[in-house]
Structure 1
């Protein structure tokens, strides 16, 4: 089934619809949810404010490697998915894209905890877009990974 963009502006409900309808079934199995999107800076935004999205990945033993540690593959898929939603928020609507590069720096393991992805668009371009994602354990709100990514805009 092809995704049909909504006529309404890109808001959190549209972001949730994209997550449910556009991504591969195995991404759906990660248990991701869109917690928030930011298309416009808030009134008190800092000069370096960037549009973005916040996604939540619920803890599941199915996402863990031996020892109960959430596997890097699940964390990288969370980061990639969060960045797609962030780019769509910055673009104010759906636009096809594909990942060109993703570099992940794992800082510490996350075990028995949900994970929060805070994805920010560094540059939204006509042909390429770039972003950064911070993954944090929801148990203590400490970062577990930093990710940078680049997307070709199709």
Structure 2
């Protein structure tokens, strides 16, 4: 089963160092293809006025949606982001950003996912994202 611990290990082992520098925490994973991932708001990702930069929000959303594909499959699989659309709704301020990602449709070669990002502790929506992932065929063994 692909749970929180496996997802956190996958994040540490398979993602680029600049993604790992965001200090992401896997808060929840479920087999329906839902992943909840949070990120602390630090000086490294905050702009003027303590507002979280859009690049880190888009990275959080994409990463959470990749983890949701692993939850859907029950294990990490190679996927490639073919489309990522992010809408920034309001300034992200607070202590953390929480991203809830879910699979909206899964086909044989394409997976569609959605993510909602909120600022904590107030729960104010800061961004929404959708992505399409290509799933290459498994290589024969």
1:26 counterpart (10, 18, 23): 18
Partner Cα separation in structure 2 for residue 142 and residue 110 of structure 1: 8
Summarize the alignment of residues 121-132 of structure 1 with structure 2, pairs less than 5 Å apart.
121-132=103-114
Q: After TM superposition, what 4+ stretches of structure 1 lie above 4 angstroms from structure 2?
A: none
TM-score by length of 2: 0.92
Q: Deviations over 1:30-66 (max 9, x none)?
A: 01010000114xxxxxxxxxx3100010110100122
TM-score by length of 1: 0.85
- Partner of residue 67, structure 1: 49
1:100 is the counterpart of 2:106: no
Partner Cα separation in structure 2 for residue 138 and residue 95 of structure 1: 31
Three-state SS of the structure 1 residue aligned to 2:61 is helix
2:7 counterpart (1, 15, 18): 15
Partner Cα separation in structure 2 for residue 95 and residue 124 of structure 1: 13
Summarize the alignment of residues 1-154 of structure 1 with structure 2, pairs less than 5 Å apart.
9-40=1-32, 51-154=33-136
Query: Any stretches of 5+ residues in structure 1 without a counterpart?
Result: 1-8, 41-50
